[in-house]
Amino acid sequence: MLVENAMTPSPITVGASSTVLEAADIMLANRISGLPVVDDKGVLVGIITEGDFLRRHELDTDRKRSWLQSWLASPGRIADEYVRAHGRRVEEVMNTHVVVVAPTAQLSDAVRLMERNDVKRLPVIADGRLVGIISRSDLLRALTRMGEPSVPSIEDAQIQRAVAAELAKQSWSRNGFIRCQVRNGVAELAGTIFDERERLAAKVAAENAPGVKAITDHLTWIDPYYGVALPPPVGEQDRL
């Protein structure tokens, strides 16, 4: 499954110049635990989460250090902690090192990014614009949908027959080693090829079928002389 099929589109955002209290009010009102932060042009500049409110001067939860801890800590780190505990604007307390993901990435890639960076959500960026956000709750919703039976539509079946018919006509693919399955307009190519040029030819055959919106490449190349098998690039998909 792709990120775009599970993400929350057009996510709620907050301005970098907004106050910390405004950000907290937005989170509470919408029952969310994190907000992408955008500048005046709508460009993603950071993210603020409930974790950024743990150490606040107003709550008397700002970090208290013993004289030894203060002596061992660098002045820069203490200054940074002071800003995060006392800062009034979102831009002063937000995290500017944001891990993002593309809408065409595999959901498994998004999960790996979450685990590797210990984050609960990823802004989804396409062409430099914020188009969505994928969070743990989105993964739960996707999981529940997976329990529903997936039945190809009549249109998908027609597209699949058209691609199969075209492949059956060609000398490089009529051996039946290249298969195509269509779901929601996405043609998934799978099987085996013995010449890398057959990969592009199969994609062209699929993209020329009316109704195909994207092509996913799962074709495995096998060297006919040495028998070495090479899988396709991870997450390879062509949008039409």
Q: What are the pLDDT digits (tens) for 137-159? A: 888 888 877 765 555 677 999 99
Predicted local distance difference test score (pLDDT) of residue 239: 66
Q: How far is CA 8 from CA 53, 115, 166, 188, in A?
A: 24, 19, 37, 24
Predicted local distance difference test score (pLDDT) of residue 145: 73
Fold matches, 3-146 and 154-239: no
In this predicted structure, the answer to whether residue 165 has a pLDDT above a threshold of 90 is yes
Predicted local distance difference test score (pLDDT) of residue 148: 56
Q: What are the pLDDT digits (tens) for 113-132? A: 999 999 999 999 988 889 99
Number of C-alpha atoms within 13 angstroms, CB side, residue 208?
Answer: 11
Predicted local distance difference test score (pLDDT) of residue 89: 92
Q: How far is CA 47 from the centre of its chain?
A: 16
Predicted local distance difference test score (pLDDT) of residue 147: 63
Contact 165, 172 (CB under 8 A): no
Contact 225, 197 (CB under 8 A): no
Model's pTM, two decimal places?
0.56
For the stretch 224-232, contacts whose Cβ atoms lie closer than 8 Å and that sit 24 or more positions apart, written own/partner, are 224/194, 232/199
* Residues across the chain: 240
CATH placement of domain 3-146: 3.10.580.10
Q: How confident is the model at residue 39 (pLDDT cuts 50, 70, 90)?
A: confident
Predicted local distance difference test score (pLDDT) of residue 116: 92
Predicted local distance difference test score (pLDDT) of residue 141: 85
Predicted local distance difference test score (pLDDT) of residue 40: 83
> Could you tell me which residues are beta bridge partners of residue 4?
none
Q: DSSP label at 104?
A: T
| All structural domains of the chain with their residue ranges | 3-146, 154-239
Percent residues over pLDDT 70 in the chain = 90
Residue 32 CB contacts under 8 Å (≥ 6 apart), including other chains: 12, 26
Predicted local distance difference test score (pLDDT) of residue 54: 83
Distance CA 60, CA 81 (A): 14
Q: How confident is the model at residue 66 (pLDDT cuts 50, 70, 90)?
A: confident
- The larger pLDDT score, comparing residue 212 to residue 235, is at 212
Q: What are the pLDDT digits (tens) for 187-233? A: 999 888 888 899 999 999 999 999 999 999 888 888 766 656 666 66
Residue indicated by tokens 């960026």? 125
Distance CA 229, CA 223 (A): 6
Domain covering 154-239: architecture: 2-Layer Sandwich (3.30)
